[in-house]
Structure 1
């Protein structure tokens, strides 16, 4: 029987690790970086061609969720200023995680490890900080779904946070009343190949020592500053308007192939709760230090959200209001702009040359996003001074 990857091809494979986690043979599937810089499954000689991996592939195995089509949508943020400071948006992930960790239950999330992003499990508050903040790269899931299932079988409650495709994969493998899922509003994941090339040529440092705060808020939530660190030492601080890597990311030049027409960025959502930044949030329901958009997608999500209400400020809004600044909340397709040309030349040109040629700062699509950022920042300053 055909394997999952043979059935769907690499162009549709999100790299979610579902096949690896359901495979009954250790070592039959290995995840490696492709030439484009994305982790995808490769079959080894241990594969017995049982086809079970198809059941763990969310592209093949569609799970009918019971999530509400009439979901509840909120603008909200944590009342805890320290949580707000250490979060990319409104700190709601941390508030949700606290609810699980107070009883030493399990939280799965993404953290930096040797210059890449990995998923891991924690059970104590002191281990939460590395899981905070946005990481705009593909997370290596490892055996996270199998580990979540093991924790659930021991009686633990599990909060699992990931991208829509990761949550869809988890849902094909694990079904348990004590599992709560959170998916993030995802723009798509950029290439490690592009990221590593940028880091090497810009800073001449060991990739394994690099960490990036993609959403530093020292100058406010809407400032969009990136801080690059080498072993906790700040190397440089770039604004959105000056960072070459982010220019390519925002112009959709080197996203993972299936991200351009994502099959999981839909309504109803994959998870019990959905989190993201509330861009274009209406006046009066906004915190200048960070505002999250939250959609509560079913009763389980609603029950959890009620438990954190004492620690947050929240305002209910209609879904269409949230969708204006967050098109990735629902079905949304991006265009492949210069992607083929970028990969044809990525090994032959400097990153700076690639940026000037294929995703210049003056590109209309980038300028639209940057001007929107400028408008939000001016408006924020105006509101603060009033």
Structure 2
């Protein structure tokens, strides 16, 4: 008998990429369930025969990366279509890539909202693209998407698959096909569904199934964006990303998935054919204030696809070091997990607002500091 992938690596190293599920030959031998910390992870059922095949789909155990460093090219770019830029988190490059496939009878896999959570799915029509646009800062449930990709490829279809670096690494362990192009995202890490659910329930008195979020609403700008919380199509509230307490916890790395703190997939070369992200810190001479994407071309296949859409883009070549400076998650970036243990220790005992104040408060500005001091002195005098 062979140990399973999860028994070998343990839950602290499991990214929740679904590679094991998609490689398991026994139906229902593995099921993904949400842990107490709020992450989907694999659990063995009584149907597991301990064949060990799931290890072949685990990117932590089996890394497959055929890209070469010498193929790396880095660009600052954005779509020439202002409407696409407006409806995208940054420069709209994913939408342009997707359009190229959808206009030519191809298949596009990406993440969408479904009953308050994020799921991966395939689309075939241009009108479905809006569901996959915009950043979604929660774990995507892949389910059997990798096997669906395999079926489409076997049927002669061309497939574009977009996901996080660990998801692309998992797909690489299962598939290598000339008609498959992979796109990964510059990933800050996956935040906890449990933290998100607690925040939604306590602040808005809603179940997460009733809520969708535009995490990157650009009504006031690309770099100074809002989080827009909706119940169906009705806006509940817009919070600036600098003032939203859930987003503060995410950006301070308080409740990320354990392996995200030292991600093994922030490598060079990257695992995907193309990497996309916001070009934070972009030099003004290669910047679109409405939204600028950083794009790294990581393979010859990626370059070929990028050339097909380049006429639809404003494209500026930049040095790798410039892109890396504002986007450290591109390569070998380790995060500080010092807040995490205390947060989960207090998670059941404290409200989300109290967790925020204790573990990831907003930084104290000079003005607020002076106000606090004056308030303290006033109380002392009284």
The equivalent residue for 1:178 is 179
2:66 matched to 1:65?
yes
- Contact 1:13 1:40 (8 Å CA) reproduced: yes
Report the Cα offset of residue 104 of structure 1.
2.1
After superposition, residues 10-159 of structure 1 pair within 5 angstroms as: 10-69=11-70, 71-159=72-160
Please, which runs of 5 or more residues in structure 1 have no aligned partner? 365-386
The equivalent residue for 2:282 is 281
2: CA distance, partners of 1:273 / 1:220: 26
Report the Cα offset of residue 284 of structure 1.
1.3
Structure 1 runs of 4+ with >3 Å offset: none
User: Any idea what SS the aligned residue of 2:361 has?
Assistant: coil
TM normalised by structure 1 equals 0.93
- Contact 2:110 2:162 (8 Å CA) reproduced: yes
After superposition, residues 232-271 of structure 1 pair within 5 angstroms as: 232-271=233-272
- Contact 2:15 2:259 (8 Å CA) reproduced: yes
- Contact 1:190 1:254 (8 Å CA) reproduced: yes
- Contact 2:65 2:172 (8 Å CA) reproduced: no
Report the Cα offset of residue 197 of structure 1.
0.2
1: CA distance, partners of 2:364 / 2:309: 42
2: CA distance, partners of 1:186 / 1:363: 28
After superposition, residues 192-271 of structure 1 pair within 5 angstroms as: 192-271=193-272
Report the Cα offset of residue 345 of structure 1.
1.1
1: CA distance, partners of 2:61 / 2:340: 26
2:274 matched to 1:311?
no
2: CA distance, partners of 1:328 / 1:308: 26
TM normalised by structure 2 equals 0.94
The equivalent residue for 1:360 is 361
Over the residues paired in the alignment, what is the CA RMSD in angstroms?
A: 1.0
User: Any idea what SS the aligned residue of 2:223 has?
Assistant: helix
The equivalent residue for 2:6 is 5
User: Any idea what SS the aligned residue of 1:221 has?
Assistant: coil
Report the Cα offset of residue 67 of structure 1.
3.0
Please, which runs of 5 or more residues in structure 2 have no aligned partner? 366-382
1: CA distance, partners of 2:316 / 2:147: 37
Q: Which moved further from structure 2: 30-39 or 334-343?
A: 334-343
The equivalent residue for 2:169 is 168
The equivalent residue for 1:339 is 340
- Contact 1:251 1:337 (8 Å CA) reproduced: no
- Contact 1:69 1:267 (8 Å CA) reproduced: no
- Contact 1:278 1:292 (8 Å CA) reproduced: yes
- Contact 1:77 1:312 (8 Å CA) reproduced: yes
1: CA distance, partners of 2:90 / 2:68: 25
1: CA distance, partners of 2:90 / 2:61: 34
- Contact 2:123 2:129 (8 Å CA) reproduced: yes
Report the Cα offset of residue 363 of structure 1.
6.8
User: Any idea what SS the aligned residue of 1:110 has?
Assistant: strand
Report the Cα offset of residue 347 of structure 1.
0.9
Query: Which one has the largest radius of gyration?
Result: 2
Report the Cα offset of residue 175 of structure 1.
1.1
- Contact 1:253 1:338 (8 Å CA) reproduced: yes
2: CA distance, partners of 1:81 / 1:66: 33
Report the Cα offset of residue 69 of structure 1.
4.2
